[in-house]
Structure 1
Amino acid sequence: MDSVDRSQLLKGLLDIIVLRVLDRQDGYGYEILNRLRAAGFDELGDASVYGTLRRLYRAGYLSTYVQPSESGPHRKYYSLTEPGRKYLRQAREAWEDVSAKMRVLFDVPTKG
Structure 2
Amino acid sequence: MDQERRAQWLRGVLDLCVLALVSRGESYGYELSQALRTHGLGTVQGGTLYPVLLRLQRSGLLSAHWREGRTGPARKYYRISPAGSAALRAATTDWNAFALSVGAILSEEPKR
Structure 2 partner of 1:19: 19
Give the partner amino acid of 1:88.
L
Query: Size of the alignment, in residue pairs?
Result: 111
Gaps of 5+ in 1: none
* Change beyond 3 A, Cα 1:90–1:11: same
CA contact (8 A) 1:23 1:85 kept: yes
Q: Percent identity?
A: 33
More strand by share: 1
Structure 2 partner of 1:44: 44
| TM-score normalised by the chain length of structure 1 | 0.91
Q: CA RMSD in A?
A: 1.6
More helix by share: 2
Structure 1 partner of 2:105: 105
Deviations 1:6-25 (A, max 9, x none): 10111010110101110111
Q: Structure 2: how far apart are the matches of 1:79 and 1:100? A: 29
Secondary structure of 2:73's match? strand
